[in-house]
Every structure is written in C-alpha cells, then in structure tokens.
C-alpha cells in the first residue's frame, strides 16, 4: 500500500469518525490527510516533513475558516425559555407540591410533573406548597416561603 493511499484512507476514516463525535474537528483533520495523500500521489510533495507540514497547515486553515459555519448546521432546535441559564438554575424559584412528608429534612416534591428528592430545613407535609431555592443535580432544596426571582 502506497503512502499516498495510507494518507487518503486515514483521511476518510477521520471524516467517517466524525459521525460518532460531536466536536466537528475530525473532519478537518480528514480533509488535511486527504489533501496530503492527493498531493503525494500527484508527485507534488515527497519528503515526510513536507507531508506533515501540509497535513497540519491544511487541517488548521480549514478548521479556522469553516468550523464555525459547519458547526451551525448541527445545532438542534431547543425550546428552552431562557438559554442564558443552565437547566438546573431555571428551576430556582419554582413552586412545588410536597408529595411525601419531610422526615429529618428529606422528602419528595413534584416539579413540572416529575417527582424529585428534596431537602428542607422547614417542616413540610404532604400536600404543602414549597419553593425551590437550590438544585443540586438530582436533588432539590426547598423552603416554605416563596423565593423572589431577584434573590437567586
């Protein structure tokens, strides 16, 4: 197998690997490898140092010039109300219903139709209303008094 063909195969594999990756970077390395393989095949380059220089230069230039535009094609639709905050911060200040009485500060609440494990320093009973003051991933911290949006 010739060195030119090896470069081209590596380039194709890098481009195909982009289907499994989400960074939109491997495709540019693949383009650099294919261009290097073609230039080597056509006899325009031959030295190994020049091959790597061409590969690096073509990959970097194509990455800098086109990555932003191409990455926009892969952006999905989102229906989030406030895209400036991560999802876990959007729940702060939300009203919840206690579905399991709090014992030793732990219980369960209902937020947006989903039950969550929750913690509270307040005494909360099933059916009470509380408000989210913090979100630690899969657990909420709630309190009896409403939290204003400005206090977040």
Q: What is the pLDDT of residue 113?
A: 84
Q: What is the pLDDT of residue 72?
A: 67
Q: What is the pLDDT of residue 1?
A: 75
Would you list the domain boundaries of the chain? 3-73, 87-147
Residues in the chain, pLDDT under 70: 22, 71-89, 147-152
Q: Which tens digits make up the pLDDT trace of 10-34?
A: 999 998 888 777 677 888 999 999 9
How distant, in Å, are the alpha carbons of 22, 89, 106, 109, 129 from that of 99? Answer: 39, 22, 12, 5, 10
Q: What is the pLDDT of residue 152?
A: 46
DSSP string covering 17-68: HTTT-SSS-HHHHHHHHHHHHHHHHTTS---HHHHHHHHHHHHHHHHHHHHH
pTM across the whole model? 0.47
Q: Is the domain covering 87-147 a CATH 3.50.50.60 domain?
A: no
């Amino acid at each position: 197998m010739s060195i030119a063909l090896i470069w081209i195969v590596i380039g194709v594999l890098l481009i195909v690997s982009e289907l499994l990756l989400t960074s939109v970077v491997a495709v540019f390395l693949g383009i650099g490898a294919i261009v290097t393989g073609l230039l080597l095949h056509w006899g325009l380059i031959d030295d190994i140092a020049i091959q790597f220089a061409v590969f690096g230069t073509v990959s970097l230039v194509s990455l800098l010039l086109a990555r932003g535009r191409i990455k926009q094609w892969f952006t999905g639709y989102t229906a989030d109300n406030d895209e400036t905050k991560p999802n876990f911060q959007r729940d702060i200040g939300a009203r919840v219903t206690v579905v399991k009485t709090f014992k030793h500060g732990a219980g369960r609440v209902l937020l947006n139709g989903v039950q969550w494990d929750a913690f509270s320093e307040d005494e909360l009973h099933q059916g009470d209303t509380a408000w989210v003051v913090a979100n630690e991933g899969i657990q909420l911290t709630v309190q009896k008094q409403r939290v204003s949006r400005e206090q977040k």
